[in-house]
Amino acid sequence: MIKLLMLSVMWAACSAMPTKNNEATCGYESCHPVKEGMINVHIVAHTHDDVGWLKTVDQYYYGSKSSIQKAGVQYILDSVTDALKKNPDRRFIYVETAFFWKWWMNQPDHIKHQFKRYVNSGQLEFIGGAWSMNDEATTHYQSIIDQFTWGLRKLNETFGSCGRPKLGWQIDPFGHSREMASIFAQLGFDGLLLGRIDYQDKGNRFKTRTPEVVWKGSDNLGEAAHLFTGVMYNTYSPPSGFCFDILCEDEPIIDDVHSPDYNVDKRVESFLGNARDMAEFYTTDNVLITMGGDFTYMDAETWFKNMDKIISYANLRQANGSQFNLIYSTPSCYVKAVHDEAEKKGMKWKTKSDDYFPYASDPHSFWTGYFTSRPTIKRFERIGNNFLQVCKQLYSLADLGPEDQVDLNALRQAMGVMQHHDAVTGTEKEHVAHDYARILTEGIKECEIITSAALNKLIKNQSSEDVDIKFSSCPLANVSSCSFTENTETFTVTVYNPLSRPVNHYVRFPILGEAYRITDDAGVQIETQLVPIASSVLSIPGRKSEATMDLVFRASEIPPLGFKSYYVESVKKEEVTAPKMNEDDYTGVKLEIDQTTGLIASVTMNNITVSLTQQYLYYEGYIGNNEIFVNRSSGAYIFRPRNNEPIAASNRANYTIHRGNLVTEIHQKFNDWISQVVRMYKEENVIEFDWVVGPLPSEDTFGKEVINRFQTDLSTNATFYTDSNGREILKRVRNFRPTWKLDLEEPVSGNYYPVTSKILMRDTVRNIEVAVLTDRAQGGSSLHDGELELMVHRNCLHDDAFGVGEALNEKAFGAGLVAKGSHYLMVGNISSDGYSLAAAERDLAQRKLLQAWTFFSPAEKQSIEDYKRKFAMNYSGLRKSLPKNVQILTLEPWIGTSLLLRLEHVLEKDEDSTLSQPAIVNLKALFTPFEVTSIRETTLGANQWLSENSRLQFATEDVNFERNPRYIVVNAEDEFEIRLNPMQIRTFIVDVVRK
Ligand SMILES: *[C@@H]1O[C@H](CO)[C@@H](O)[C@H](O)[C@H]1NC(C)=O
Ligand SMILES: *[C@@H]1O[C@H](CO)[C@@H](O)[C@H](O)[C@H]1NC(C)=O
Ligand SMILES: [Zn+2]
């Protein structure tokens, strides 16, 4: 009783503390003060709300399907809103804007007001703030930036600067990329806290008291990409015994001294014991204790009531000499306290320049399987990005009016959901994967309405009738199925180029006619080629088309952010009069095939010949009961092969060669479930491997994890390179980690790294580089010198016991899933005097990421002359191409009539002697449909003016780190002139005047 009385007295004292009601005191100002000389224990109340995993996004939000998992996000936010009222000292953080926004839209005004007060007083703080907590291995930087921009915009619009997150909070993603650190720094954030890093790395960091470092996020951007980064003690879980929730069974704090169950002393002692242990490993007098977990706080009061007591009883001990000071805190208050103390004491932080991949949680659990899991979702996500950019650009160019709040947002939000660490990763349950596909499909459909409306606006002139043309896509053209092109005699093909320079693009679609005549915008008949569709494609389950031939033509010089239309007529063979080019007129790309095995024996490109064999192999997945580490199964997260040497799917391939005037193809069949088309296009310095893998046999005892392996005679000295989220390149050394002495029991999966867009190797003596680009995220490695391998598809017949609770054995159309995709092989000199191979790789990567988009529209009963009179067949959104090293990363409708514009320099500083130089772009008269009248630079997320952002500075041990000055827009001559350094991204909100 007495204790209870004291408690209420203390609360009264706390609420008497100045809480300015009308004035916002959010941010660092609202942090509870720390006590110098004590161990300050920052208690962080949080919930981790997966945007889909075992249940769909909606099932999690509403709390349905409790039999799968007891989790309802709406109840969490309701319940936290009530609990914060009861004690103004309480703090809570919220992270996933996808859920927050769904909840917010459904709240009555009085709840909104109340919630805003919490945000303004710092009681409720947004952390991270993106639409979802994105994965870092399988995601592309363009989509990461987009999903932050969208989440942060909602927060800024709703709460202003108090809703602006200051910290990255990546507590559950399975390893961490360096590019993500760079992105957080460019978002203007002060730091990043991580939950999961390799168990050996973690042990070593704790032993050496370096769980907190300054991460150098970029080889190119210098200090602008430095980020304070901390690894948390217990991922994001509460100390054992301190989970107070309807989801847990831990004992509450019982503080009635007359109760036989009175436990305050014991419980406080145990809690402080934890803090004491932690303090051993961290260098300042601050420790952070995460109080929460997956979908916790559905009954927030159970947590807060007990935390209130722990805090007050623990702090009472200070009177008796206790050195612990417990406060409700947030991750940013923690980082601020760490920063201030370090600054006061003149501490210097260690730095880190590599990344946190791969992630292992025990000696046999390398989380490298998810780099490849669900390969078709991974590809669909990339297509979603491609179309989202096309959609946003066309919206902006055609001026569809003030931003529509519905249509465009569906795909923006779908892509935000897809970035989640259980979405594109492939670590969700099968029914959830289907729901993600549904969400993405809906978003794409909404954008099709936009692109059609925009194109209509752009093509019409005065003599156009007011009839709308329907522009549709052929989503199944990747399996050579398209009912439009198969069943229409006369139509137009409009090819839109989302890149900022002209591109050539080979258009391909299935047809049923015997010949086609294609006329371009200049009235010239252009070359076509009919290519037989590979038999393995014809038999893909679910394919409904009758077509056995694809029509191919080259759309050349499609203008930047523009299109060209082609008039296509089905005709008799003899009516085609377009000139046939010489079939040998290829750019010197050559393949040699071993006649006895049917496998590739060598390739020649850029004047270099390398002996190279390429084939498909598979690992069998380990199956165990998961009860001890050594019994870990290969599964959705984990890659664990039974044997270190893969098994060849076949040592030979049957093949046919189809030569042509535009493209030459070799159709190879390795076995019943693996085949490929090797393709060389005229005037393309690359060899394309278009693989079809599946249905993977699943009647065997073991799952199959299929790799495409390129074997060469290059001497690579155990070294290879992979990209980080599609951007900077990181060096990888086999059986080695840059920051600790590796003890490796899984020599295959422990050498797998995420390949978001590219893997490459170099023979520095022969000056040869071999690179393979991908069309989606995959796992890859170089397990022997001169070799590259990429995992393309996998099925696992057993769960790996990390929660998903299902074997990864995807089905489609009543059979095992068939995955189809492409690898692009490039060979050349590492360094050369002219255009470098690295620059060529960057160019190709962009042309694949933002591929020219093909729209089809009917043109029955219209001659080309009719069509041309009425409609523009050639359009450029830019008056002038941008330099080859600059790309418009973002062009989208923004608030009111403004636009959001991002420019990026697409090369690193050492990649090309010319193109790695800084670039200059003048924005004023750059665009065709409008003139830029004012620009204002923001942080990367567009939620803060750049000039108003200042980040906490953390002193590092390196004496001479580069200071990379921010380039200020204002330029005496011309404020519209933008300078970009290698790998720099600059973000602007621009006002325009339409012409
Ligand atoms: C290839 O090498 C030959 C002879 O050294 C040279 O004439 C030619 O220009 C080179 N071609 C290319 C594409 O570099
Ligand atoms: C943030 O939102 C406010 C309105 O709440 C708006 O006035 C401001 O321009 C936004 N900031 C940026 C950088 O967009
Ligand atoms: Zn999670």
Ligand 2 midpoint to CA 379 (Å): 35
524 burial level (CB within 10 Å; 0-12, 13-18, 19+): exposed
Average pLDDT (538-566) is 96
**Best mutation site among 162, 895, 945 for ligand 2 pocket (most ligand atoms within 8 Å of CB):** 895
Closest listed residue to residue 163, CA positions, set 131, 133, 118, 227: 118
pLDDT score recorded for residue 586: 61
pLDDT score recorded for residue 405: 53
DSSP letter (8 states) at residue 737: B
Confidence of residue 407 (pLDDT cuts 50, 70, 90): confident
pLDDT score recorded for residue 567: 97
DSSP letter (8 states) at residue 178: H
In the chain, CATH 1.20.1270.50 covers 371-451
Is residue 754 within 8 A of residue 177, CB to CB? The reply is: yes
pLDDT, one tens digit per residue, over 108-140 is 999 999 999 999 999 999 999 999 999 999 999
For the chain, what is the largest distance between any 2 Cα atoms, rounded to a whole number of angstroms?
102
pLDDT score recorded for residue 73: 98
| Closest CA to ligand 1's atom 7 | 607
Is the predicted pLDDT of residue 975 greater than 80, yes or no? yes
Q: Copy the structure tokens of residue 873.
A: 């067949």
**Which contacts (CB < 8 Å, 24+ apart) does range 406-409 have?**
406/446, 407/446, 407/447, 407/449, 407/450, 408/446, 408/447, 408/450, 408/892, 408/893
Is the predicted pLDDT of residue 828 greater than 90, yes or no? yes
Angle (nearest 5°) at CA 681 between 680 and 687: 35
In the chain, CATH 2.60.40.1180 covers 460-539+547-575+860-871
Average pLDDT (253-282) is 97
Q: Under DSSP, is residue 202 helix (H, G, I), strand (E, B) or coil?
A: helix
**Best mutation site among 587, 606, 607 for ligand 1 pocket (most ligand atoms within 8 Å of CB):** 607
pLDDT score recorded for residue 699: 82
The CATH class given to the 585-848 domain equals mainly beta
Does residue 607's CB lie within 6 angstroms of at least one atom of ligand 1? yes
Is the predicted pLDDT of residue 18 greater than 60, yes or no? no
Stretch among 33-42, 674-683, 849-858, 965-974 having the lowest mean pLDDT: 965-974
Ligand 3 midpoint to CA 135 (Å): 9
Q: Copy the structure tokens of residue 618.
A: 């598979």
Confidence of residue 21 (pLDDT cuts 50, 70, 90): very low
Is residue 753 within 8 A of residue 346, CB to CB? The reply is: no
Ligand 3 midpoint to CA 50 (Å): 5
In the chain, CATH 2.70.98.30 covers 585-848
Instruction: Report percent pLDDT > 70 for the chain.
Output: 94
pLDDT score recorded for residue 701: 85
pLDDT score recorded for residue 15: 39
Is the predicted pLDDT of residue 723 greater than 50, yes or no? yes
Q: Copy the structure tokens of residue 36.
A: 């110098």
* 371-451 CATH choice from 1.20.1270.50, 1.10.600.10, 3.40.950.10, 1.10.40.30: 1.20.1270.50
Q: Is 172 a catalytic residue?
A: yes
Q: Residues 605-631, buried b or exposed e (16+ Cβ, 10 A)?
A: bbebebebebbbbbbbbbbbebeeeee
**Best mutation site among 148, 154, 156 for ligand 2 pocket (most ligand atoms within 8 Å of CB):** 156
Is residue 200 within 8 A of residue 746, CB to CB? The reply is: no
| Closest CA to ligand 1's atom 10 | 607
Confidence of residue 973 (pLDDT cuts 50, 70, 90): low
The phi and psi torsions of 771 (rounded to 5 degrees) equal: -125, 145
Distances (CA, A) of 755 to 172, 512, 674: 20, 38, 22
Ligand 1 midpoint to CA 657 (Å): 27
Q: In CATH, what number does 2-29+40-357 get?
A: 3.20.110.10
Is residue 943 within 8 A of residue 156, CB to CB? The reply is: yes
The sheet with strand 324-329 has its strands ordered as 286-294, 39-48, 324-329
Q: Does domain 886-994 have CATH number 2.60.40.1360?
A: yes
Is the predicted pLDDT of residue 834 greater than 90, yes or no? no
**Nearest atom of ligand 1 to the alpha carbon of 834:** 14
In the chain, CATH 3.20.110.10 covers 2-29+40-357
- As a whole number, the mean pLDDT across the chain is 93
Q: Does domain 460-539+547-575+860-871 have CATH number 3.40.50.300?
A: no
pLDDT score recorded for residue 698: 82
Ligand 3 midpoint to CA 184 (Å): 19
Q: Which of 135, 172, 219, 800 is catalytic?
A: 172
pLDDT, one tens digit per residue, over 447-491 is 999 999 999 999 987 766 677 899 999 999 889 999 999 999 999
Task: Please give the Cα distance from 497 to 839 (Å, whole number).
Answer: 20
The phi and psi torsions of 143 (rounded to 5 degrees) equal: -75, -30
| Closest CA to ligand 2's atom 1 | 156
Confidence of residue 301 (pLDDT cuts 50, 70, 90): very high
- Ligand number nearest CA of 608 is 1
Q: Copy the structure tokens of residue 228.
A: 């304070």
Is the predicted pLDDT of residue 583 greater than 80, yes or no? no
Is residue 291 within 8 A of residue 250, CB to CB? The reply is: no
Q: Residue 305: how many CB atoms within 10 A of its CB?
A: 16
Instruction: Report percent pLDDT > 90 for the chain.
Output: 89
pLDDT, one tens digit per residue, over 502-512 is 999 999 999 99
Closest listed residue to residue 968, CA positions, set 991, 923, 993, 936: 936
| Closest CA to ligand 1's atom 2 | 607
Query: DSSP readout, 100-118?
Result: HHHHHTT--HHHHHHHHHH
In the chain, CATH 2.60.40.1360 covers 886-994
Highest-confidence segment of 393-407, 735-749, 962-976? 735-749
Is the predicted pLDDT of residue 345 greater than 90, yes or no? yes
